[in-house]
Amino acid sequence: MTFPSPLTHGRLIKRYKRFLADVVLDSGEVVTAHCTNSGSMKSCLEEGAEVYLSPVNDPTRKTKFTWEMIRINNGWVGINTSNPNRLAYEYVTSGLIPGIEGYTNVRREVTYGDSRFDLYAERESEKCFIEVKNVTLKEGKYALFPDAETSRGRKHLETLISIKKEGMRAIMLYIVQRTDVEIFAPAWDIDPFYAETLVRAHANGVEIFPFRVEVSPQRIMPSGLLPYRLDKE
């Protein structure tokens, strides 16, 4: 995924009210950017760190920038939670994720039961539902999800279990927007209920694909699958 227009560089002053961030641009101007990430953003917030914003040409919107990434540990961390869905669609359609290739019909935002899933894919006689989650939380070498309690995330897992029992393929696709991690795991300390549900979903045939991407101010590139560990240490 290539950013459609050049991003604007600055440094983070503070993030507040979940959806807002004040940034000082290189020109010295202070702007307020929209933050799409409603989670805690633990391990990817550092005041004074370099950030990149995408300009928004919408006269009806109060904030004229969207916060895209922040520089942590000498690398870029993508914090725009709308990008993983775009990336997942691109990668599944192009067959860039090992194990999720060969689908001839890929659609976005498809409902099953009382849940809406990010992707639905078909190939020959196989039907597959894919839920996409954004991962930015880091602890040691681990990429962890979630970074805040998520009842919606648990609901998606429960529905994926039902989908699998109906004879269809069910996938949790975690897009890891940082490269300074080596393994994926559920965040047991933050949401043990989600972690327990993920373990149960996996035991019932729901597949787990943690896919790391490399974020830069020009583009977001596929980096490859990560191994995962589900047990609580």
Q: Using CA atoms, how far apart are residues 209 and 64, in angstroms rounded to an integer? A: 34
> Given 28, 57, 77, which residue is the final one in a domain?
77
Q: Using CA atoms, how far apart are residues 169 and 161, in angstroms rounded to an integer? A: 10
DSSP class per residue in 169-190: EEEEEEEE--SS--EEEE-TTT
Question: pLDDT grade, residue 155 (50/70/90)?
Answer: very high
Q: State mean pLDDT over 137-153.
A: 95
Instruction: Provide the pLDDT for residue 232.
Output: 85
Q: Are residues 65 and 134 in the same domain?
A: no
CA torsion sign for 149, 155, 161, 163 is: negative
* Boundaries of domain holding 41: 8-77
DSSP class per residue in 99-125: TS---SEEEEEEEETTEEEEEEEEETT
Instruction: Provide the pLDDT for residue 39.
Output: 85
Higher-scoring residue by pLDDT: 171, 38: 171
Q: Are residues 127 and 163 in the same domain?
A: yes
Q: Residue 233 falls within a domain, yes or no?
A: no
Q: What percent of the chain has pLDDT over 90?
A: 90
Q: Residue 232 falls within a domain, yes or no?
A: no
Q: Residue 209 falls within a domain, yes or no?
A: yes
pLDDT higher than threshold 80 for residue 233: no
Higher-scoring residue by pLDDT: 5, 233: 5
Q: Is this model's pTM higher than 0.85 or not? A: yes
Q: Are residues 73 and 97 in the same domain?
A: no
Q: In the chain, how many domains are there?
A: 2
pLDDT higher than threshold 80 for residue 215: yes
Q: Are residues 129 and 143 in the same domain?
A: yes
Q: Using CA atoms, how far apart are residues 37 and 68, in angstroms rounded to an integer? A: 10
Contact 115, 159 (CB under 8 A): yes
Summary mean pLDDT of the chain: 95
Q: Residue 64 falls within a domain, yes or no?
A: yes
Question: pLDDT grade, residue 208 (50/70/90)?
Answer: very high
Q: Using CA atoms, how far apart are residues 129 and 213, in angstroms rounded to an integer? A: 21
Strands 115-123, 126-135: pairing is antiparallel
Q: State mean pLDDT over 203-226.
A: 97
Q: Residue 1 falls within a domain, yes or no?
A: no
Q: Are residues 141 and 48 in the same domain?
A: no
pLDDT higher than threshold 80 for residue 112: yes
pLDDT digits (tens, 9 = 90+) for 15-73: 999 899 999 999 999 999 999 998 889 999 999 999 999 999 888 888 999 999 999 98
Instruction: Provide the pLDDT for residue 57.
Output: 84
Return the H-helix or E-strand segment holding 68: strand 65-72
Instruction: Provide the pLDDT for residue 114.
Output: 85
Question: pLDDT grade, residue 198 (50/70/90)?
Answer: very high
pLDDT digits (tens, 9 = 90+) for 68-102: 999 998 999 999 999 999 999 999 999 999 999 99
Q: State mean pLDDT over 129-137.
A: 96
User: How far apart, in Å, are the Cα atoms of 63 and each of 37, 66, 109, 148, 223?
Assistant: 15, 8, 26, 25, 32
Q: Are residues 92 and 25 in the same domain?
A: no
Q: Which residues pair with 66 in a beta bridge?
A: 34, 54
Q: Residue 231 falls within a domain, yes or no?
A: no
Q: Residue 153 falls within a domain, yes or no?
A: yes
Here the CATH number for the domain that contains residue 131 is: 3.40.1350.60
Q: Using CA atoms, how far apart are residues 213 and 117, in angstroms rounded to an integer? A: 21
Contact 158, 196 (CB under 8 A): no
Q: Are residues 73 and 101 in the same domain?
A: no
> Hey, what amino acid is at 142?
Y
